[in-house]
Amino acid sequence: MIEKSMEEVLIEHQRQSTDSCLCGWAKLGHSHPAHQAAALAAAGFGPLHVRAPEVRCVDLATGEKVLDEVVASNAMVHLEVMDDNHWWMAITAAGKRVDVNLYTKRAKITAVAEVEP
């Protein structure tokens, strides 16, 4: 669980002088940024794994190619109702954006979303 903000952790671990950190850490010949990175990791801020959205399709027996899934990590998602039978979603990660359109020609799309505890 993250109890401090990233800014608070970095403030606690500012370089106090050319040879030590505010927390007292001082190891001659060791990297202060590496010490700060370790402090961030200890506070729950791990390295972010960013993966651009990937569109995966499957080939049907008819030879038609259809959307199977869109996968990304650490992405920004924007999902929006466009009409009764049309939802649009943008997935952006690592500077790449994928637009996904969910629609049906005959019925209204019903969607449910729940926030996982």
Residues at the interface with Zn ion (CB under 5 A): 13, 21, 23, 25
Distant-in-sequence, close-in-space partners of 104: CB < 8 Å, separation ≥ 6: 85
Judged by beta carbon, residue 25 or residue 88, the one nearer Zn ion is 25
Judged by beta carbon, residue 13 or residue 93, the one nearer Zn ion is 13
Q: Shortest gap between Cβ of 12 and Zn ion (angstroms)?
A: 6
Q: Shortest gap between Cβ of 19 and Zn ion (angstroms)?
A: 12
Judged by beta carbon, residue 8 or residue 84, the one nearer Zn ion is 8
